[in-house]
Amino acid sequence: MEKEQSVVEESRKNLNFIEQIVENDLKEGKNGGRIQTRFPPEPNGYLHIGHAKAICLDFGIAERYGGICNLRFDDTNPVKEDMEYVDSIMEDIKWLGFHWENVYYASDYFKQLWDFAVQLIKEGKAYVDEQSAEEIAKQKGTPTIPGTHSPYRDRPSEESLELFEKMNSGEIPEGKMVLRAKIDMASSNMHFRDPIIYRVIHIPHHRTGTQWKAYPMYDFAHGQSDYFEGVTHSLCTLEFEVHRPLYDWFLDQLADSDYRPRQTEFNRLNLTYTVMSKRKLLQLVQEKLVSGWDDPRMPTLTGMRRRGYTAQAIRNFIDKIGYTKYEAINDVSLLEHAVREDLNAHAIRVSGVIDPIKLILTNYPEGQVEEMEAINNPEDESMGGRKVKFSRELWIERDDFMEEAPKKYFRLTPGNEVRLKNGYIVKCTGCRKDEEGNVTEVYAEYDPMTKSGMPDSNRKVKGTIHWVSVSHSLDAEVRLYDRLFMVEDPASEKEKDFRELLNPDSLIVKKGCKVEEYLKDAKPLDSFQFQRIGYFNVDRDSTEDTLVFNRTVALKDSWKK
Ligand code: ATP
Ligand code: MG
């Protein structure tokens, strides 16, 4: 009994504040025990890791409490929206491992929202304002100074109704008229000072075409859409906290029962060394400062996927940072840690040589080829092993050899011994150089008794290096990524254009790399650990002749001080 109690307490302790709210609502029997959430992206860009935080919560709550989560495209502004974004959003949610119950579009509610606006006009709770945006802004007042009434505020309902029709028929140019809710120009909540609820836009909508010219504002569409669908818990980020009273006000005008969706706000995900605003991300794409929305340096889900970040790693990271009521900025190295942890458990270890130089084992028989046993993943026996070909000529990393080395250099230097991973211990005997003094070949002698299974296989040497047999290697291009921005919080550097803060070394392309033959059937997105270097995945730019790899993340955090 006691034990059971502590288990319950343990799980309660781990609930985030939103789960606590949901559990309370369930206990009180609210909404007949029904749990319904929604994820409401605006289809005006690709999803980024910040959206993943909202997705994990919206879908996670529904999963955990046996409810449903719908995908709703918040497509009330035709100017920036596009079907390409709709498709990518669906793909990214599926990739994260979530399933929506239904797909809805706010644009499906345009008629219902219109009817509701007409109702408000008839009730004297909305009016058409013919002032310019500047005039309206001037009358807003400040949080301590009440606003001024528009000269159109008390016009007859019939007049507003007639003009509202015209706003939608195409007769009224953009910016000439808006519909405003008539609430309270002296309210301490600025959102209550006769908010604009409809404006005119003449650009065709990606779904409704030219059917509408009057479009509802976010605040007039969001809560009502929640209500039409039967949402119980409407979860959004903290900046909407001040909108909540207005959200509730509209619902009170609309509802004909006790049912209300309830809005709860949580902190946004902000990451160091990147930007998360869709406007800025779009700018990077349009100005070709990155290769596209799926550039592996982008904080987009499609970019992270291409880079080799796994959905599980992203979900683990989001789990770890949690949900609070306070804005903060999360260290990207925490995300990288989660990626490393997941790939460590699942990625096959292979050999890849990024900056190759030839190592010749002068006492190894010419033409001889041996098969060495390699373990696929020491973390997971069930992943088995494979054979790797070994021969007289091997590719090794250029910096694994030094002709004159400092004391603690445990790699190849004349007279020194190292173990070739999965192979023999070899002793360096020298090198050849070109006229300019560049090393072109390294020489060593191998000790035949030191292969696995041989008498001296357990002999210890200080260094182990990786290698690829020259005649059993494949050509590869390797793309090394670093952080996209040079500063921790580009968005906070207000006096600078964010584009000036881009890291010029965020992409370094290495050509002429060599990888082991085993990778010849690797497909785009397949992930591997290049031993001693990092995690890499196959890029879709790979061709028959040259594999292209993205460095997902280095083995160690090189940014740690
Ligand atoms: P924009 O940059 O155009 O203002 P947005 O980032 O708010 O857009 P939406 O498509 O409106 O993007 O967002 C869909 C959902 O994702 C919303 O519920 C929003 O609160 C949430 N969301 C967006 N960015 C983040 C973030 N950084 N952290 C957590 N949730 C986010
Ligand atoms: Mg938004």
Ligand nearest to the CA of 72: 1
In this chain, the answer to whether the domains covering 31-266 and 278-348+476-554 adopt an identical fold is no
pLDDT digits (tens, 9 = 90+) for 110-136: 999 999 999 999 999 999 999 999 999
Q: What is the mean pLDDT of the segment spanning 83-100? A: 97
Q: Which two tokens stand for residue 449?
A: 């008794």
Ligand nearest to the CA of 80: 1
pLDDT tier at 12, thresholds 50, 70, 90: very low
Q: What three-state secondary structure class fits 437? A: coil
* Helix/strand/coil percent split, the chain, to 5: 35, 25, 40
Ligand nearest to the CA of 281: 1
Give the C-alpha separation, 296 to 207, whole Å.
31
Q: Is 398 annotated as a binding residue?
A: no
CA distance between the termini of the chain: 49
Helix ranges (DSSP H) in 292-429: 301-307, 311-321, 332-346
Distance 53 CA to ligand 1 centre (A): 9
Q: What three-state secondary structure class fits 405? A: coil
Give Cβ neighbours of residue 228 (< 8 Å, ≥ 6 apart): 109, 112
Among 72, 278, 306, 411, the active-site one is: 278
DSSP code, position 173: P
Distance 42 CA to ligand 2 centre (A): 6
The whole-number pLDDT of residue 3 equals 45
Q: Are 486 and 502 in contact (CB under 8 A)?
A: yes
Our answer to whether residue 42 is catalytic in this structure is yes
- Under CATH, to which class is 278-348+476-554 assigned? mainly beta
Among 23, 34, 42, 80, the active-site one is: 42
Distance 98 CA to ligand 1 centre (A): 17
* Phi, psi dihedrals of residue 228, rounded to the nearest 5°: -60, -35
| Residue nearest atom 16 in ligand 1 by C-alpha distance | 51
pLDDT digits (tens, 9 = 90+) for 369-424: 999 999 999 999 999 999 999 999 999 999 999 999 999 999 999 999 999 999 99
pLDDT digits (tens, 9 = 90+) for 51-62: 999 999 999 999
- Under CATH, to which class is 352-466 assigned? mainly beta
pTM: 0.94
Give the C-alpha separation, 177 to 204, whole Å.
19
Radius of gyration of the chain (CA): 31
Which residues sit with their C-beta closer than 6 Å to ligand 1? 40-42, 44, 50-51, 53-54, 236-237, 268-269, 276-278
Q: Are 205 and 194 in contact (CB under 8 A)?
A: no
Our answer to whether residue 30 is catalytic in this structure is no
Our answer to whether residue 268 is catalytic in this structure is yes
Could you state, in order of their start, the residue ranges of all structural domains in the chain?
31-266, 278-348+476-554, 352-466
pLDDT greater than 50 at residue 348? yes
pLDDT greater than 80 at residue 561? no
Q: Is 44 annotated as a binding residue?
A: yes
pLDDT digits (tens, 9 = 90+) for 216-262: 999 999 999 999 999 999 999 999 999 999 999 999 999 999 999 99
Q: What is the mean pLDDT of the segment spanning 294-321? A: 98
CA angle 351, 352, 353 (to 5 degrees): 125
Q: Is 277 annotated as a binding residue?
A: yes
Distance 51 CA to ligand 1 centre (A): 6
| Superfamily per CATH, domain 31-266 | HUPs (3.40.50.620)
Q: Is 42 annotated as a binding residue?
A: yes
The whole-number pLDDT of residue 559 equals 59
Block residue for tokens 């949580």: 266
